[in-house]
């Protein structure tokens, strides 16, 4: 995750001219990080140089002799590991990571390094992956006639980019299943799906790929006002099939060569978040506000692009007043979901209450209803085409993606967006792009057995203009959350303790 670039200062060389390549030993090149102590604090430093005439760059004996001296100093000054990149002609590149221990660098030198297999460029309009010249990864340019027709739209390179991509989809319900299906048809090479629940008869009409037998026995399933954790399915064969297993079967039926990872846990769990962060791109189709906060924070902390999508149906007196879809995108340079004013902090607080304080499931506000498959298809089409563009570079010259709220009855569209908040630690502050050096993103949400007293909507989003006005009334709740969800909850509790 490259945060900034510093020029090297060459000492004692008067023969260097712009545009004229020369050999400069690394020991003669230094950089000045005194102006910003971030670079020698907890950030990884990457030293980069070039072999401009090589089409397959490889480290020379001069590099092997010079680099250990530089990385001993860097590692002694700031926490490692640090790395180096070597650029060649025609965008060729290789790299290596040095150990985090000074003693190991001094004792072993270059043989102690680990090769960099791939460089991932996360831009505003696309994701680009470049394998190094000595990468250990399989060749991503495998061809398949299955995708020949779509290559006419985005070229053969687009097919290769899709096959080389890893996408995590959080939520395998009525919306998430449509997204998984589309990504499988496109030929995305690796999919991770995270969902903690099982199929029930009441949501089978919206889950693509669900069969009648997946819902389990009616007597073992609570009524429509309960949601069953997938963990229960491990103990009882009568309970419905975990949604991630249904997605695995769906993907295998489309393209058995896709590498699939199903995680039947919440994204706020350690297993769920760990699986999500292994992907290149994250898609949020989740039904809880707290999980969307966790994903937004993780996206900024780990420089993962996040596509957050949802639906809202507002029914009053048996009449649909609003039917809306929403798409928000978070990139390293754009605002997080909180800065975009897309987080309902009152709902987050309610979801974090202990089980004895809040029954499992959240009561619907008056006028809301779960989405139906036709509305889900509208939302899925928006995010699927955005993902197609982002992963392949399709229409990259046409500008930004069409994000915001689209109301299907009136045709109203609000671009949304928001601005970076200088106080937001995940956008402009101490947590942006620092990866594992930042706070843990996993924080399990308390759950208890459903007893028929609540209802979890398909997507708990505030997509309509009325919902936007309601979010503005929640500004006090948002103020409490400036330091992140954990800090917000601690302050909320502290204010109410006697």
Residue 4 domain-assigned (yes or no): no
Highest mean pLDDT (candidates 10-14, 150-154, 438-442): 150-154
- With 60 as the cut, is the pLDDT of residue 356 above it? no
Calpha distance 73→422 (Å, rounded): 33
Q: Are residues 168 and 52 in the same domain?
A: no
Together in a domain, 357 and 464: yes
Query: Among residues of the chain, what percentage have pLDDT more than 70?
Result: 69
**Rounded average pLDDT over 437-442:** 69
Half-sphere exposure of 68 toward its Cβ, with a 13 Å CA cutoff? 17
Whether residues 233 and 346 share a domain: the answer is yes
- Model confidence over 162-178: pLDDT tens digits? 999 999 999 999 999 99
Q: Is 470 a member of any domain? A: yes
Over residues 406-434, the mean pLDDT reads: 84
Boundary-marking domain end, from 99, 116, 133: 116
Q: Distance between CA 229 and CA 209 in Å, rounded?
A: 19
Do 52 and 111 fall within a single domain? yes
Is residue 133 situated within a structural domain?
no
Q: 142 pLDDT band (50/70/90 cuts)?
A: low
- Number of domains composing the chain: 2
Is residue 235 predicted with pLDDT exceeding 70? no
pLDDT band at 259 (very low <50, low <70, confident <90, very high): very high
* Range(s) of the domain holding residue 18: 9-116
193-227 burial, b at 16+ Cβ within 10 Å, e below that, comes to bbbbbbbbbbbbebbbbbeeebbbeeeebbeebbb
Residue 78: predicted pLDDT: 61
Give domain status of residue 443, yes or no.
Answer: yes
Same domain, 109 and 227: no
Rounded (to 5) percent helix, strand, coil in the chain: 35, 20, 50
pLDDT value for 420 = 83
The reply to whether 374 falls in a domain is yes
Average pLDDT over the chain, rounded to whole?
75
What's the pLDDT at 389?
94
Q: What angle do CA 491, 438, 344 make, to 5 degrees?
A: 45
Which among 116, 132, 162 is the end of a domain? 116
Are residues 209 and 252 located together in one domain of the fold?
yes
269 belongs to a structural domain: yes
pLDDT in tens, 78-122: 667 888 999 888 778 999 998 888 888 888 888 888 888 888 888
CATH code for the domain in which residue 289 is found:
3.40.50.720
Q: Are residues 155 and 73 in the same domain?
A: no
> Do both 395 and 343 map to the same domain?
yes
pLDDT at 374: 94
Neighbours of 25 (CB within 10 A): 12
Q: Is residue 125 part of a domain?
A: no
Claim to verify: residue 181 and residue 102 sit in the same structural domain: no
Residues with Cβ within 8 Å of residue 56, at least 6 apart in sequence:
88, 92, 133
Q: Do 355 and 476 belong together in one domain?
A: yes
Which of these three, 116, 132, 155, is where a domain ends? 116
Q: Examine the domain organization and report whether 187 and 54 are in the same domain.
A: no
| Cα three-residue angle 249-250-251, rounded to 5 degrees | 95
Tell me if 282 is assigned to some domain.
yes
**DSSP conformation class of 113:** -
Residue with more model confidence, 301 or 221: 301
Verify that 289 and 408 share a domain, yes or no. Answer: yes
């Amino acid at each position: 995750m490259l945060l900034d670039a510093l020029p090297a200062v060459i000492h004692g060389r008067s023969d260097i001219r712009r545009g004229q390549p020369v050999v400069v030993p690394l020991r003669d090149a230094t950089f000045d990080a005194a102006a910003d102590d971030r670079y020698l604090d907890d950030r990884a430093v990457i030293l980069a140089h070039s072999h401009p005439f090589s089409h397959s760059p490889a480290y020379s004996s001069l590099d092997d002799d010079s680099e250990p001296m530089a990385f001993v100093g860097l590692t002694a000054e700031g926490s490692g590991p640090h790395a180096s990149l070597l650029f060649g002609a025609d965008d060729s590149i290789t790299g290596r990571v040095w150990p985090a221990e000074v003693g190991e660098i001094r004792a072993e030198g270059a043989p102690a390094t680990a090769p960099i297999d791939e460089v991932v460029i996360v831009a505003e309009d696309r994701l680009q992956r470049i394998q190094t010249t000595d990468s250990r990864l399989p060749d991503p340019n495998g061809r398949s006639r299955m995708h020949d027709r779509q290559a006419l739209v985005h070229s053969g390179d687009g097919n290769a980019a899709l096959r080389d991509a890893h996408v995590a989809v959080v939520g395998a319900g009525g919306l998430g299943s449509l997204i998984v299906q589309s990504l499988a048809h496109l030929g995305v090479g690796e999919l991770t799906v995270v969902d903690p629940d099982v199929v029930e008869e009441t949501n089978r009409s919206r889950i693509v790929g669900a069969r009648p037998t997946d819902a389990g026995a009616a007597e073992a399933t609570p009524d429509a006002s309960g949601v069953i954790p997938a963990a229960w399915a491990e103990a009882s064969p009568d309970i419905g099939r975990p949604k991630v297993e249904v997605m695995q079967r769906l993907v295998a039926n489309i393209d058995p060569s896709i590498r699939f990872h199903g995680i039947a846990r919440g994204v706020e769990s350690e297993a769920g978040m760990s699986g999500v962060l292994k992907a290149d791109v994250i898609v949020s189709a989740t039904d809880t506000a707290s999980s969307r906060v966790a994903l937004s924070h993780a996206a900024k902390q780990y420089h993962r692009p996040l596509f957050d999508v949802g639906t809202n149906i507002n029914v009053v007196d048996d009449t649909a007043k609003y039917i809306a879809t929403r798409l928000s995108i978070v990139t390293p340079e754009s605002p997080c979901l909180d800065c975009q004013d897309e987080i309902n902090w009152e709902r987050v607080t309610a979801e974090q209450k202990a089980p004895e304080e809040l029954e499992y499931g959240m009561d619907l506000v008056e006028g809301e209803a779960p989405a139906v498959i036709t509305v889900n298809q509208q939302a899925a089409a928006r995010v699927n085409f955005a993902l197609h563009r982002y992963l392949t570079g399709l229409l990259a010259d046409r500008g930004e993606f069409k994000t915001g709220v689209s109301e299907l009855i009136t045709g109203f569209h609000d671009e949304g967006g928001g601005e970076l908040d200088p106080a937001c630690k995940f956008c402009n502050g101490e947590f942006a792009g620092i990866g594992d050096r930042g706070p843990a993103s996993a924080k399990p949400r308390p759950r208890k057995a459903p007893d028929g007293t609540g209802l979890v909507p398909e997507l708990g989003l505030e997509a309509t203009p009325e919902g936007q006005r309601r979010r503005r009334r929640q500004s006090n709740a948002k103020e409490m959350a400036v330091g992140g969800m954990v800090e917000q909850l601690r302050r909320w509790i502290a204010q109410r303790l006697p």
